[in-house]
Every structure is written in C-alpha cells, then in structure tokens.
Copies of this chain bind each other. A is one copy, B any other.
Amino acid sequence: MKRKGILIILDGLGDRPIEELGGKTALEYANTPNMDKLAKMGILGQQDPIVPGKPAGSDTAHLAIFGYDPYQTYRGRGFFEALGVGLDLDEDDLAFRVNFATIENGIITDRRAGRISTEEAHELAKAIQENVKLPVEFIFVGATGHRAVLVLKGMASGYKVGENDPHVEGKPPHEFEYGDEESKKVVEILEEFVEKAHKVLEHHQINEKRKKEGKPVANYLLIRGAGTYPNIPMKFTKQWKVKAAAVVATALVKGVARAIGFDVYTPEGATGEYNTDAMAKAKAVVELLKDYDFIFLHFKPTDAAGHDNNPKKKVEMIERADEMIGYIVESIDLENTVIAITGDHSTPCEVKNHSGDPVPLLIVGGGVRADYTESFGERECMRGGIGRVRGKYIVPIIMDLMGRTEKFGA
C-alpha cells in the first residue's frame, strides 16, 4: 500500500493566549471548519522544531522538519535566500539576506520600508545592480516584498561577518562586526555597497513617488544572515525515494526546498504576503499531486501577522489557509493520501518574533489512527494522540503512513 503525502506548513502558526481574542490563540479563535473536520478524522499533537523552548528560524525549522539536524546542516540563511530567488551559486560564494529599509537623519525608522511591494523592490534592486560598482563581482536581486539577496562572488572564506541591522527601529544602523582578516575585507565591501546603494535609492523615482504618497521610502539596505553552501548529507528526494514538489512563494523557503531536491513551483498570485492567492496554491497542489509522490505546501502570511502583532490579521490568514486546505481535501482521494498540517515554529503576537513554544500538528488521511480531539488548536493539540514530538519525526511518520519507510532489523 503506497500513499501520496502532503506536508502543509503554515508559517509561524503557533501562538500564545491573546487578550484581544478572549484569551484564545489565533488558531483557536479562527473559524476553521475544514481543519476542524480533519482534526476529528485524524490525530493531533505538538511538535518542537528543534528542542522544547528553543526558538527556531524559518530556515533551521524547515531543515529540521524535513529531517535534517540543523546544527549539522545550517551554514547561514543568506544561501537559502539566494537559492530561493533562483540563483545558481558556486561553492565559494557568500550570500546575504537584505531588507529594504527607511533611514531618516541616520536613524532606521522602518526596517521594512513600509513593507514595499515585490515589484518595487525588484525595480530598486535592478537600479542598484546597474549603477553600483564594487571591487568584486556581486549579484543583487529582489526577493518577495521588502526582501532582497546579495551575493559576493568567491568571498565564502570571509563568512564570519555580522550585520548592520539594529533589529529595532529608532536606532542608527549597527556597525558590521567581523571575526578574522578575510571577513574584515568583506565588511569593507559591504560598507561600500551600503553607501553606494543608498545614493542610488535616495532619489530613485519609486521613492520620489512613495514620498509624495506619504509612504516610507526604501532608501537604505540592512544586510544580515551571511551564508555559505549548506551541508546536506543526502537530498530528501533520494533519501525517501520520492518525486517531490514544493509550492512556495517565499525565497528563503524556496531555497531550503531546492537545496534538498524539491522541484519548486510558485503559482501566479502566490506572493508570500498578506495578498497571496491561497487558492492558486491549492490548485497547484492538486495538479502536482497527479505527477508527484510528495508535495510540500508553504503558506507565509500567518507568520507575518505574528511579527506585526496583528491578531485579527493572523486569524484572517488562518481562515484563508483553511479555505485553501478545504479545496485540497475536496479534490483528492484522502484514503490514499496522508496530510500533515503544522507550522515551522510559533510566532506569538505578543513576542513579535519566533518563540520556543511547541507548534500544533495535525495528521490525517489513510491509515491514521484517530484520537479524541475535536478541533485544530493549541489547547486541543495538548491532548492529541501524537503527543509531543520533535519536528524531525514528522516526515518519518508521514512516510511510514505512505508506506515508504524501511524496516531496521529483520
């Protein structure tokens, strides 16, 4: 008996009790008839992407959920971002994630430049690529929203560099730190890049227009997350002998999926932002499931709402995800499929960042033993039949239900 599998990650799904929602979490408060139905049919639990109490990044969390030890694999975020925007990198490249930000009188007033659109970011990035000259070859391209990627060709040995992101607004940019002489050279190049890019951005027509509209201008670059080639011992697709596709819009997560062997698809309208077309993603999953054994579906805006401390928006995004999931379940043969729904980590509104809280987990489909749970939410997951497991066991559990694990021993 072989089944197909779908892993759905609602980014930053987990939360803590929110006063504005009557002490419920966003997932508990949201109207999610489809996921609640799946909870009744399936099995719930809690998962710790890394270990209990340890906040995971989106990159390390995805690596862990795909079964890799992030402490062995991870070599910094920048590389996944660069893979994710479709760049083909060399082993000696050094990649960074970049935010378009707003600076006024030397103070960072908006770390995301009012969450400028992907189109604006791409055009600004193009202007920088064309007009900035550096002593080394570089690639600078827009990703999703305010995010961009910088690659310094051949500079991997100088990877011990810090960042200029102060991580809070109302402060000047941070000074880049460095750990050795190679990295000091990289810092000098980064400082030159930030300075020259600032001049290009300052009077770019997009910013002139934003200024007139009273929007924060994207006139500064915050650079962080230096990354080199990840240490992936065996690709996911080879390890599990499956044909696997990912439906993702967010560059970072695309990068992780590409690095472990997934074919990556971004349907039109899927942006990774609040305006993402969830139904386009659902249709892509249903279509791809005809050709692939395993589909990974990533949904980003739940995380953004947590970072923005916007509980109502998080509820709205979860409800949109529920419709997306409802469409998928209606369109497939559930008895011959295994579906897991979870987050990569918790992003509680009160924290405005990732936390170490466990993440709700739902598994449903053919072969799944149902438990007594009635709806999908943090509290109900605490009494779920999966118990509390490490993120790294999610894929083996799915693969086992799919009939794709191998016996150890005889």
Contact = CB atoms under 8 A, between A and B. Distances in A.
Nearest to A71: B408
Contacts of A378: 369
Interface residues of A, number: 64
Interface stretch (A4-12, A58-66, A194-202): A58-66
Given A399-B53, A400-B355, A410-B225, A367 B379 contact: no
Interface in A10-52: 16-17, 25, 43, 46, 50-52
Q: How many copies does the complex hold?
A: 2
Contacts of A107: none
B396 A54 contact: yes
A371 B382 contact: yes
A354 B400 CA distance: 10
Contact of A60 (B368, B370, B387, B409): B409
Main secondary structure of the interface of A (DSSP, over half): loop
19 contacts: A1-B351, A16-B368, A16-B369, A51-B393, A52-B396, A53-B395, A58-B409, A58-B410, A59-B410, A77-B410, A225-B410, A356-B397, A369-B382, A372-B379, A372-B383, A379-B385, A387-B387, A387-B388, A388-B389
A205 to B, nearest CB: 32
Given A351-B403, A379-B369, A396 B56 contact: no
A405 interface: yes
A272 interface: no
A63 to B, nearest CB: 8
A60 B353 CA distance: 34
